[in-house]
C-alpha cells in the first residue's frame, strides 16, 4: 500500500494589500529620496492612473449599451465598479504614500533600513491609517 502524501501549496493571492507591502519592500531597498519617489509613483499609479483607466473602460462600455435598460444598467455598473475597484485602488494609493513616507523618514533619521518585522508592522499601520483617511 502506497502512502499518498498530500501536497499543500500556498495560494497565490495578489491583492491590493499585498501590493502595498511589495511597494514598501521596494522602497526599503532605496535611500530616503528613492523611498519617497517610490511612494509618490505608487500613489499616482494607484490613486489616479488605474481608476482613470477603469473609468474610461466603464464609459466606453456604457456608450455601447442600448435599449430601455441601458440607463439603469449603466448606473448599476458605475456603482459596482466604484465600490469594488476604484475606491479600494484609491485607498491603496493613500496607504502606499503613507508607508513609503514613513520608510523615507525612518531612513533619513536613522540611516538604516527597516527589517522585515518592522516593515510588516509599518505596512499594517499605514493600511489602517489609510482606511480612516479615505
* pLDDT tens for each residue of 59-93: 888 888 888 888 888 888 888 888 888 888 999 99
pLDDT the model gives residue 36: 94
pLDDT at 101: 93
Sign of CA dihedral 28, 106, 126, 11: positive
* Interaxial angle between packed helices 16-29 and 32-44, expressed in degrees from 0 to 180 and rounded to the nearest 10: 150
d(CA 37, CA 42): 8
Q: What is the model's pTM? A: 0.78
Residue 37: predicted pLDDT = 94
**Cβ 33 vs Cβ 45: under 8 Å:** no
Compute the average pLDDT of residues 30-37.
92
Among candidate residues 89, 16, 77, the one with its CA nearest the CA of residue 52? 89
Domain map (residue ranges) of the chain:
16-133
More confident residue, 4 or 24: 24
Mean pLDDT of 31-48: 94
How large is the average pLDDT for residues 26-45?
A: 93
The region of weakest confidence among 3-7, 26-30, 81-85, 109-113 is 3-7
What rounded mean pLDDT belongs to the chain? 84
Amino acid at each position: 500500500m502506497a502512502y499518498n502524501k498530500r501536497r499543500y501549496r500556498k495560494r497565490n493571492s495578489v491583492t491590493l494589500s499585498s501590493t502595498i507591502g511589495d511597494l514598501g519592500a521596494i522602497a526599503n531597498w532605496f535611500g530616503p529620496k528613492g523611498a519617497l519617489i517610490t511612494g509618490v509613483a505608487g500613489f499616482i499609479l494607484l490613486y489616479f492612473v488605474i481608476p482613470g483607466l477603469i473609468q474610461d473602460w466603464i464609459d466606453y462600455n456604457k456608450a455601447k449599451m442600448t435599449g430601455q435598460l441601458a440607463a439603469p444598467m449603466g448606473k448599476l455598473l458605475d456603482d459596482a465598479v466604484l465600490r469594488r475597484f476604484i475606491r479600494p485602488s484609491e485607498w491603496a494609493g493613500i496607504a502606499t504614500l503613507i508607508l513609503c513616507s514613513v520608510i523615507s523618514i525612518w531612513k533619513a533619521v536613522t540611516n538604516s533600513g527597516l527589517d522585515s518585522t518592522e516593515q510588516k508592522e509599518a505596512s499594517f499601520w499605514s493600511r489602517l491609517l489609510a482606511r480612516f483617511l479615505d
